[in-house]
Amino acid sequence: MLSWVPRVLLALLLPPLLTHGQARRREHPQAQNTSRPALLRLSDYLLANYQKGVRPVRDWRKPTTVSIDVIVYAILSVDEKNQVLTTYIWYRQYWTDEFLQWNPEDFDNITKLSIPTESIWVPDILINEFVDVGKSPSIPYVYVGHHGEVQNYKPLQVVTACSLDIYNFPFDVQNCSLTFTSWLHTIQDINISLWRLPEKVKLDKTIFMNQGEWELLGVLTQFREFSMESSGCYAEMKFFVVIRRRPLFYTVSLLLPSIFLMFMDIVGFYLPPDSGERVSFKITLLLGYSVFLIIVSDTLPATAIGTPLIGVYFVVCMALLVVSLAETILIVRLVHKQDLQQPVPAWLRHLVLERVALLLCLGEQTASRRPPATPRAAKTDDCSDVGNHCSHLRGPQDLEKTPRGRGSPPSPPRESSLAVCGLLQELSSIRHFLEKRDESREVAREWLHVGSVLDGLLFRIYLVAVLAYSITLVTLWSIWQYS
């Protein structure tokens, strides 16, 4: 009747003994199979019952803190038209996985192990500004420490949206942000912190490729918590990548040719205004500047929301060349064929040759006064005198009938009197021609003086406008370059 007692005792004692044995084998895995490599035993020990779909904390109320770090390696491209920045960065993550812990003494003093990334839990931290998938190499492993610290290092080609301000081109400074945040988990589940101190992140340029168009000024950091209406509070870490364009190439290829053309346009004012070469010279400069703008149009950045200041500079320079050509045409029109024009009006002579000349420190441009024109009555008298003299000459009959006094001289022959009459008429015509030519020359000289004074005035106005505009732009660009 007592034969069932041993069976009952065996049934009660066997399960605890088996459970205790399994626990001892788990605590001392080296006792299971010391012939297997330590790395294999450790990998099997960590991943045997690991659930990668569950956040690795023993207390669900405790958030998982993920420390991140960014090191900028290169600025690959800046697309001003599409407002896209492409960078290459070294990205590092660090968090603690409470399910990946072991005692190094049990596994041949192994303190760090690399295991596949797809086998463990990884935080869903993304960059909010992502607009395209970059060509990043795949890193399939992570490092795990014996206290559960997981280090995930990987290079990333980041294609992000950035608000690019090109108004200061080519002396522009761009500030683009990379915002790292968990796409799903709130701050109660995943919190984000900075791996290094902000000062070290800002000044770290050890691996940056500094031979391209862009210069890295620094990387600023900012932590922020934000909330959405339909969900809880989220944590995010912003990295502000501040870069500056190197302007030397654009200064040589864009600004210097434009400056040279404008300088030649100013020099063109020293050509005589009465020569037709100035107009052709200005037209050649205008055509050359038009070809220059066509060539550099592909170099200038273009956006739908703004135009760089250098584009406005080119348009204004083009307008100044047109104004210079119009001024040259006006002056040439004043001084061309002056002998066929009317005399200079008195008000214009007073305004230009006296007032404007004094204003320009040229002295009063008093043209030599032409001699007063001989009154028409006097000219008529001269002609009548010649006619009377010729009419007083009588025919042969009158000469024969004229009694000669005893003491009177003999009358001149008839042929001599006619020759004298013709000579007097020729002299009168020559005198009239010379007087008319002197009047035309005086009119031409006055119009030339008026054109020269107006040309000097317009040249000074044009020069002041060009210098003021150039000094303003150089000052602005200098401030932007060294700010």
What is the Cα–Cα distance from 92 to 38, expressed in whole angstroms? Answer: 28
**Domain shared by 226 and 290, yes or no:** no
Q: What's the domain count of the chain?
A: 2
Looking at residue 27, its pLDDT comes to: 52
Q: Kindly give the parts of the chain with pLDDT less than 70.
A: 1-34, 304, 336-345, 347-416, 436-444, 447-448, 481-483
Give the pLDDT score at 394.
46
Are residues 61 and 177 located together in one domain of the fold?
yes
- Residues 163 and 210 occupy one common structural domain: yes
Task: Supply angle C-alpha 468, 474, 475, rounded to 5.
Answer: 90
Which CATH number goes with the domain that contains 295?
A: 1.20.58.390
Coil, helix or strand at residue 13: helix
Residue found by looking up tokens 């932590």 in the block: 223
Q: Identify the domain containing residue 40 by its residue range.
A: 36-244
Quickly count: other Cβ atoms within 10 Å of residue 115's Cβ.
20
CB 393 within 8 A of CB 418: yes
Query: What type of residue sits at position 40?
Result: L
Co-location of 173 and 315 in the same domain? no
Quote the tokens at residue 350: 């007073």
Same domain, 131 and 161: yes
Q: Do 226 and 279 share a domain, yes or no?
A: no
**CATH number of residue 162's parent domain:** 2.70.170.10
**Are 223 and 295 found together in one domain?**
no
Query: Does residue 326 fall inside a structural domain?
Result: yes
Structure tokens at 57: 């904390």
CA-closest candidate to residue 296, choices 316, 284, 311: 311
Residues of the chain above pLDDT 70, percent: 73
Strand order across the 173-182 sheet: 125-127, 173-182, 233-245, 214-227
- The closest of 348, 216, 358, 336 to 278, measured between CA atoms, is 336
Which of 244, 278, 308 terminates a domain? The answer is 244
What pLDDT, on a 0 to 100 scale, did the predictor assign at position 336?
67
The whole-number pLDDT of residue 9 equals 57
Q: What is the pLDDT of residue 116?
A: 94
Radius of gyration of the chain (CA): 51
State the first-to-last Cα distance of the chain, in angstroms, to the nearest integer: 102
pLDDT of 68: 96
| 96 vs 113: CA distance, rounded Å | 14
Q: What is the pLDDT of residue 422?
A: 76
Statement to judge: residues 239 and 137 lie in one domain: yes
Task: Give Cα separations from 371 to 366, 374, 435 (angstroms).
Answer: 14, 9, 9
Specify whether the CB–CB gap between 235 and 191 falls below 8 A.
yes
Q: Are residues 239 and 278 in the same domain?
A: no
Of 244, 262, 280, at which residue does a domain stop? 244
Is 378 a domain residue?
A: no
Amino acid at 138: S
> Residue 128: helix, strand or coil by DSSP?
coil
Which of 213, 244, 275 is at the close of a domain? Answer: 244
In a domain, 88, yes or no: yes
Buried b (16+ CB within 10 A) or exposed e, 126-153: ebebeeeebeeeeeeebebbbebbbbbe
Q: Is the residue at 260 inside a domain?
A: yes
DSSP class per residue in 59-107: STTSPEEEEEEEEEEEEEEEETTTTEEEEEEEEEEEEE-TTS---GGGG
> Which tens digit of pLDDT belongs to each residue from 451-476?
777 777 888 888 998 888 888 888 88
The H or E element that residue 439 is part of is helix 414-482
Compute CA distances 295 → 86, 246, 259, whole Å: 27, 21, 16
pLDDT score at 90:
95
* Co-location of 128 and 263 in the same domain: no
Instruction: Please give the structure tokens belonging to residue 112.
Output: 């760090």
